[in-house]
Amino acid sequence: MVAFFIVSLTIISRLERRTVSPYGELEGAPGSDDPTGYAALWVADALQAGFVLLGWARDVRGSVYKCNYALLVSEDRTTFMVISVGTILNLPMYATWLHTPAMDGRSFNTTDKQAGVQIDLSRNWTNQLAVVPSFRQLLQKHREWLQTLNVLPRSFTPNREFAEFRALRTEHFRSMERAGLIRFTDASVTQFYYTLPGAAKTATWSYLVGVIRGLSHGSLLRSA
């Protein structure tokens, strides 16, 4: 069963063409309704905590990705927040990511959903899964984690937060390319495929990390 899941994930990762940045242009409101109320609640809590709402972005990857993203930045501009609401292949996708870039060029992100975990074997990005019921708890987990790792945050530039976050994602995937994990399909570096070794390694590690975190309720492999 384990081998089946890993092989399946490897094949999907190898064949699927992926997008460096799924976010469209900023809009003033979400492009669709959120019947769960997840986004409204988490956005409201973030605003109370001093975050600034930059706007909403539609997913640009095609009709199977029916997602909207609320994009926010912390008051001190060290943390970029993404809230996803909608469906991918008709499966619900409600998740939040907190991204903090470090002065040494690496980035650290915390998410509240296993489906939102993004494994990067190049080690340019490091992730933490914190399954918590509220934004304030997620933010606290994120900040405590950064302190534990002695991360020196790098701030986003005022009025350029979204552009710099996109650049952060581009550098993330360039790092994966240098490690031989992916290959870009175009000179503009907007789309890519996993290489076969990259797909196999990432699928195997992603599966094992997910299982170990699930069995330990996140206490093991906190950073991956």
Q: Output the pLDDT for position 13.
A: 83
What's the confidence (pLDDT) of residue 1? 76
pLDDT tens, position by position, 143-193: 999 999 999 999 999 999 999 999 999 999 999 999 999 999 988 899 999
Q: Give kind and range of the element (H or E) at residue 30.
A: none
pLDDT of residue 8 exceeding 80, the answer is yes
- In terms of C-beta density within 10 A (0-12 exposed, 13-18 middle, 19 or more buried), how is residue 66 classed? middle
By CB atoms closer than 10 A (0-12, 13-18, 19+), residue 16 is: exposed
For residue 210, the one-letter residue type is: G
Nearest to 146 by CA among 104, 115, 174: 104
Token representation of residue 157: 């530039």
219 pLDDT more than 80:
no
Judged on CB neighbours under 10 Å (0-12, 13-18, 19+), 148 is exposed
pLDDT band of 89, cuts 50, 70, 90:
confident
pLDDT > 90? residue 122: yes
Domain ranges of the chain: 21-180
